[in-house]
Amino acid sequence: MILAALVMVVQVAAQDPRLERLDPGTRSAVSAVVDSARGDGLPVEPLIQRALEGATKGAPGARIVAAVRRLTVDLGAARLALGTNASAAELEAGVAALRAGATPEILAHLRDLRRPPLTMALSVLADLVASGVPADSAAAAVLALAPHARDADLVEFRRAVERDIALGAPPGAATSIRVNAGAENVFSGTGTNPGTVPRPRRP
Amino acid sequence: MGIERVESSDAELVRRVRAGDIGAYGALVSRYRDRLGRYAVHMIGDHEDAEEALQDSFVRAYRSLARCYDPARFGAWLYGILVNRCRTTGARAARRHRMFVRDADALNGAAHGDQADRVEWTDAIERALARLAPEYREAFLLKHVEDLEYEAIAELTGAGVSALKMRVKRAREQLQLYLREAEHV
Amino acid sequence: MFERADDVVERVIQHLRRPVAIDPGLDARVLREIAQAPPTNRRGWPLWSALAAAAVLGAILIARPWSRDETNRSDLLQFVFVAPRAASVSLVGDFNDWDPARSPMQTAQGVWATAVRLAPGRYRYAFLVNGVDWRADPGAPSARDDEFGTPSSVVTVGGRGS
């Protein structure tokens, strides 16, 4: 009896109070997924945020649970590729990269090329694909820049590519041209911002 | 940053800007960005220079909005500022990013055969436009691309109507000549 | 193939009349610039117009739809959204539990702004206009996995900026 009461207390304590915004059935299912992920050593905050996003957007419970489950699986895949030392932020960015079409091998290669954190590199890879860059071109670009570029350089690179695409350049070509420009800057020692727009915009 | 859809008239938006509503100016910028941008891109040639000229023109217009005496014709007044700004940009900039000047339609359109032909056609037009004297290019674009009346162009440029007609005529002849040359290269 | 001279020129005209892609971020840059330098106060411009512009300057001083102050390594990000007709705009995302009450945006003449301090990471977010209308941030990358049917954007705060 006492043991059962203790178990209940532990369960209640483990359930994130923010999940009370979910209906009871959804809350219960999401909590189970979250607990399982926690047991596996995965970060649970992204899972809770995805559930809360669904709740705020008025999504059906089943869709919320499915989204949280899918994210759990993908976080596991990202950890497998990036290693157990990867931070929660890196894993979440890794999920975005994987969903964009990067392979686990690309993530592992990136980990070997660039000292951590890899969050920005992974995120830029995902964002490039979201802009229409083929996944293999985006991955090749990020891998080419990864050893030398700063996070800020990667952001500038992404912006430059997105801008070229908006101006009508084919996404793959825009990416490779910007990579080459960036590489010239880095390796010639004439600049430290690979991939930046040649002439900065006015603020 | 997102721009909300606004359906107020130019005059109403100008009135609101003058009353201190900067957001209303955002609606005007959003309304005229693409059309004026097209003129600037074709006139200047270099996309980045064109966007800079466009941005500058919007800012100059805001700062001198008190001198927009007919708010219902804000668009025409704004055109005038941009035309002047494009002139001061000087000779067409070195085409640093020529391959990115093309618009998406130029690459994806179906009007002229396969993509290689379209790209070649786009390049030929750009080169031909670049070879025109600035005053010819200006008159041609305002008349035929922006579809303005000669009287309105005269107001914008300060040139007489007969001179403008002559510039447009010369521009047409030279474009035809340059494009014919391109076909035989 | 022979083509009449007028036909060639007409083809040129039709080509040049096609839309040209202009960076949508230009709107934000214009608004930032005018907010920083109000118009000259002449011909009946009310003085408080200039004051309003100054107020906007206070709201969007960081001057980017979202940006990170690289100089002092601060993770304070400024989010800006222009919605002249909106009655309310909230910033909602992974950083505030998707709670519209947590980050209501403040307006100055239709320019809505709020600042949020973020740790390194990748965050999904959106603007909620008038409590019902979900808008992505056109100035930021879009989130591809919109599993709940409304658009979202992504902002990434890096761990090593320089």
Q: Compute φ and ψ for B103, nearest 5 degrees.
A: -85, 165
- C98: alpha, beta or left, given left = phi > 0 and alpha = psi -120 to 50? left
Q: Are C112 and C85 in contact (CB under 8 A)?
A: no
CA distance C120 to chain A (A): 7
pLDDT recorded at residue C69: 33
Distance CA A161, CA C140 (A): 13
Domains of chain C listed by start with CATH number: 23-157 (2.60.40.10)
CA distance B34 to chain A (A): 12
Q: Domain-by-domain residue ranges, chain B?
A: 1-91, 107-185
**What pTM did the predictor assign?**
0.55
Nearest of A151, A140, A45 to residue A101 by alpha carbon: A140
At the topology level, CATH places domain B107-185 in Arc Repressor Mutant, subunit A (1.10.10)
Q: Which residue has the higher pLDDT, B108 or C105?
A: C105
- Interface residue B34 vs chain C (CB under 8 A): yes
Below-50 pLDDT ranges, chain A? 1, 3, 5-13, 184-203
DSSP element (H, E) containing A36:
helix A24-39
Q: Domain-by-domain residue ranges, chain A?
A: 14-82, 89-203
- B115: alpha, beta or left, given left = phi > 0 and alpha = psi -120 to 50? alpha
Q: How much of chain C exceeds pLDDT 90, in percent?
A: 25
Binary contact (A168, B48; C-beta < 8 A): no
pLDDT tens digits for B100-155?
Answer: 333 333 333 333 445 556 667 788 898 899 899 999 999 999 999 988 889 889 98
CA distance A164 to chain B (A): 6
Distance CA C77, CA C80 (A): 10
Helices then strands, each counted (H, E), chain A: 10, 0
Assigned token pair, A158? 């992404």
pLDDT band for B185, please (50, 70, 90 cuts): low
Distance CA A179, CA A152 (A): 15
Binary contact (A127, C149; C-beta < 8 A): no
Q: Are A92 and A105 in contact (CB under 8 A)?
A: no
Side-chain-side CA neighbours of A203 within 13 Å: the count stands at 12
Binary contact (C27, B111; C-beta < 8 A): no
**β-strand partners of C157:** C121
Distance CA A164, CA C11 (A): 26
A-contacting residues in C 89-128 (Cβ below 8 Å): 92, 94, 97-100, 119-122, 124
Taking CB atoms and an 8 Å cut-off, how many pairs form between chains A and B?
27
pLDDT tens digits for A88-136?
Answer: 999 999 999 999 999 999 999 999 999 999 999 999 999 999 888 999 9
Contacts of B100 in chain A (CB under 8 A): 164, 167-169, 174
CATH number of B1-91: 1.10.1740.10
DSSP 8-state code for residue B67: G
